[in-house]
Chain A
Amino acid sequence: MTNTPRSTHWDIFCTVVDNYGDIGVTWRLAKQMVNEYQIPVNLWVDDLASFSHILPTLDPLKATQSFNGVNIIHWKEPLPVAFVAGAMLIEAFACELPEQVKAQLAYLHQNAPKSVPIWLNLEYLSAEDWVEGCHGLPSLQANGLKKYFYFPGFGAKTGGLICEQNLFAERDAWQADTANKLQLFTDLGLKDIQAQDTVISVFSYETEALPALCELWQQSAEKIHALIPKGRSLNSLTHLLPCDIAALVPGQQINHGNLTLHILPMTDQQGFDRLLWSCDFNIVRGEDSFLRAQWAAKPFIWHIYPQEDDYHLVKLEAFLKLYCDNLPPKIACYWSELNLAFNQAQQSAVSLHWQNLNPVNLPLLHHAKQWPINALNAADLATRLVQFVKNS
């Protein structure tokens, strides 16, 4: 092995923990690095079947394949292709790298130090203050290698937020013409949605807050459409369904008073973005859809991933505080209380705060439009990541 400069490609390793979150983030990042920075990317994924939910053309049986310029490799033991170190090695969300990869890093460190890629652990997004103090710090390994902790975040001293350069322009163009959303609903097989109807997307974990909201929506004076994919949200709404969840089909409608539940088909990431842009309100979960709901410039509830000792509420409150900074106090209070009640499955509180928020949602909508610009803090995650590489 010679001490040659390293290759320019990036490797991203991702283990799929749930069906959409981790892979959703890494797939977006990989596409963005290829599209906007012309950096070749290998995306190593351990569960291609789950990945295919958001990339329907992916073949889960193929060891290597390419989409959107990203080289997708099935990460299994042994690796189907040899790992060749590039300029950057990302372990997403603290996943444990394969032994072969770690051994090669150690070998390069000893024998060809210039060929050692920048190694970083891409962490979860958090609005907590401590993120700025930990972002970019090295993790000194016993063998002398350095791994960096890269924390996405909202502050200028964090790793930023994933956002494609042309996303807001595309969103604005989409939202400028009502025909776009109506066409999208038709393309998704959703019927009987009129331009003036209230449309709410629901992509949450299980929670008793959902039945409470549905009960409220049934009694609404106006038509409300709740768009729900087959999955965890429906586990909380079985009493409203005519059959088992497994027997539901995309496009199916279930009417209860003025509420119509629509079973959503799975969509790719662009389709999901457009769905969020098209709804009046979005209920999202985890990390990827949480961020995309913010970029949709629409009001939302964030159902955060539950943690031990209710620690997720600390993370939720950190975000609520940040998001509400420029909101009129009354609206900030209603919106925060709604999110807290939803996350604590407080049925009566979630109904109360939904009703409180409803009459004042115009200022909230205005805030939702301004928020993405403030949240980006001048540079998105990919831009900051490229700068991080230059500075390392």
Chain B
Amino acid sequence: MKTAHEIRPGNVIMLDGSPWVVQKTETTRSGRNAAIVKLKLKNLLLNSGTETTFKGEDKLEDIILDRLDCTYSYFADPMFVFMDAEYNQYDVEAENLGDAAAYIVDGMEETCQVTFYDGKAISVEMPTTIVREVTYTEPSARGDTSGKVMKPATITGGGTVSVADFVKVGDKIEIDTRTGEFKKRV
């Protein structure tokens, strides 16, 4: 069991007798420090999608499916193709990657975990932290160095991350793929 707060894109959870792959997670804060977790899910049996909400501490049954360490190979619309150490290729639908798709770039070296259900590659779990280069962000507006003032930044691959105001174009930043949050400048 995992708490809703611990669920990541690529996990598969069991709800009402059906396996659902988590395509996207969004954590927000309600009153009195309570976390609210919004999940975008896809039913692996019916191929249908839904959005659902949990308290952060709600327990969810995550299924341990077959996984393989793979590296990203190339994109063949609408499939991302990954390759294992023995050069076997696995196609994963772009839709199933959810937010993780924003972190996938050509030539990336990080090892991802491809998840299989019923013999089919159904999702990809990114490493907890990745490093990406900032390709665009506005110059620092207030000269803030505390890291509390945030601004949007585009990273390699086209994704957008909210970064500390002191981050500049060309900086390499560490991102937590579970939350999409900027962690630090590398």
| A residues lining the B interface (CB < 8 Å) | 17, 93-94, 121, 123-126, 128, 130, 133-134, 137-144, 149, 287, 305, 307-308, 310-311, 314-315
Residue of A nearest to B4 (CB): A139
**A177–B55 alpha-carbon span in the complex (Å):** 47
Q: Indicate if the CB atoms of B33 and A134 lie closer than 8 Å.
A: no
Q: Indicate if the CB atoms of A124 and B54 lie closer than 8 Å.
A: no
Smallest CB–CB gap between A264 and chain B, Å? Answer: 25
Contact of A143 among B16, B52, B53, B55 (CB under 8 A): B16
Smallest CB–CB gap between B57 and chain A, Å? Answer: 9
Q: Indicate if the CB atoms of A287 and B52 lie closer than 8 Å.
A: no
Q: Indicate if the CB atoms of A133 and B32 lie closer than 8 Å.
A: no
Contact of B53 among A17, A124, A126, A134 (CB under 8 A): A134
Contact of A139 among B29, B32, B52 (CB under 8 A): B52
Given contacts A134-B53, A140-B50, A142-B16, contact A124 B33 (CB under 8 A): no
- Can you list 20 A-B pairs, Cβ within 8 angstroms, ordered by A? A94-B30, A121-B55, A123-B30, A123-B31, A123-B36, A126-B31, A128-B28, A130-B26, A130-B28, A133-B26, A134-B38, A137-B51, A139-B52, A139-B54, A140-B16, A140-B52, A149-B36, A305-B31, A305-B32, A315-B29
Contact of A124 among B17, B32, B41 (CB under 8 A): B32
Contact of A94 among B50, B55, B60 (CB under 8 A): B55
- Does B169 have its Cβ within 8 Å of any Cβ on chain A? no
Top-9 shortest CB links A-B: A124-B31, A144-B16, A137-B53, A149-B53, A140-B15, A130-B28, A140-B52, A124-B30, A307-B33
**A137–B14 alpha-carbon span in the complex (Å):** 18
What residues of chain B lie closer than 8 Å to A314, measured between beta carbons?
29
What residues of chain B lie closer than 8 Å to A305, measured between beta carbons?
31-32
Q: Indicate if the CB atoms of A94 and B34 lie closer than 8 Å.
A: yes
Question: Given known contacts A126-B30, A310-B148, what 11 new A-B pairs fall within 8 Å (CB)?
Answer: A94-B30, A124-B30, A124-B32, A125-B31, A134-B53, A139-B54, A140-B50, A142-B14, A142-B60, A143-B16, A307-B32
Q: Indicate if the CB atoms of A137 and B38 lie closer than 8 Å.
A: yes
Smallest CB–CB gap between B53 and chain A, Å? Answer: 4
**A108–B41 alpha-carbon span in the complex (Å):** 26
**A124–B33 alpha-carbon span in the complex (Å):** 11
Given contacts A133-B38, A139-B58, contact A17 B32 (CB under 8 A): yes
Q: Indicate if the CB atoms of B31 and A287 lie closer than 8 Å.
A: yes
Smallest CB–CB gap between B60 and chain A, Å? Answer: 8
What residues of chain A lie closer than 8 Å to B14, measured between beta carbons?
142
Most chain B Cβ neighbours within 10 Å, of A121, A142, A310: A142
Residue of B nearest to A130 (CB): B28
Q: Indicate if the CB atoms of B30 and A141 lie closer than 8 Å.
A: no
Judged by DSSP, the binding face of B is strand
| B residues lining the A interface (CB < 8 Å) | 14-17, 26, 28-34, 36, 38, 41, 50-55, 58, 60-61, 148
Given contacts A93-B31, A94-B55, contact A134 B36 (CB under 8 A): yes
Q: Indicate if the CB atoms of B61 and A142 lie closer than 8 Å.
A: yes
Smallest CB–CB gap between B62 and chain A, Å? Answer: 11
Q: Indicate if the CB atoms of B15 and A134 lie closer than 8 Å.
A: no
What residues of chain B lie closer than 8 Å to A142, measured between beta carbons?
14-16, 60-61
Smallest CB–CB gap between A360 and chain B, Å? Answer: 26
**A125–B17 alpha-carbon span in the complex (Å):** 34
What residues of chain B lie closer than 8 Å to A143, measured between beta carbons?
16
What residues of chain B lie closer than 8 Å to A124, measured between beta carbons?
30-32, 34
What residues of chain A lie closer than 8 Å to B55, measured between beta carbons?
94, 121, 139
**A315–B28 alpha-carbon span in the complex (Å):** 11
What residues of chain B lie closer than 8 Å to A144, measured between beta carbons?
15-17
Residue of B nearest to A18 (CB): B32
**A220–B33 alpha-carbon span in the complex (Å):** 38
Residue of A nearest to B148 (CB): A310
Residue of A nearest to B41 (CB): A140
**A128–B29 alpha-carbon span in the complex (Å):** 10
What residues of chain B lie closer than 8 Å to A138, measured between beta carbons?
50, 52-53
Smallest CB–CB gap between A267 and chain B, Å? Answer: 24
Residue of A nearest to B54 (CB): A139
Smallest CB–CB gap between A237 and chain B, Å? Answer: 25
Residue of A nearest to B58 (CB): A139
Smallest CB–CB gap between B83 and chain A, Å? Answer: 34
Smallest CB–CB gap between B98 and chain A, Å? Answer: 15
**A154–B53 alpha-carbon span in the complex (Å):** 20
Q: Indicate if the CB atoms of A311 and B16 lie closer than 8 Å.
A: no
What residues of chain A lie closer than 8 Å to B15, measured between beta carbons?
140-142, 144
Q: Indicate if the CB atoms of A308 and B33 lie closer than 8 Å.
A: yes
What residues of chain A lie closer than 8 Å to B17, measured between beta carbons?
144
**A126–B60 alpha-carbon span in the complex (Å):** 26
What residues of chain A lie closer than 8 Å to B16, measured between beta carbons?
140-144
**A133–B40 alpha-carbon span in the complex (Å):** 12
**A17–B34 alpha-carbon span in the complex (Å):** 13
Smallest CB–CB gap between B1 and chain A, Å? Answer: 10
**A51–B164 alpha-carbon span in the complex (Å):** 44
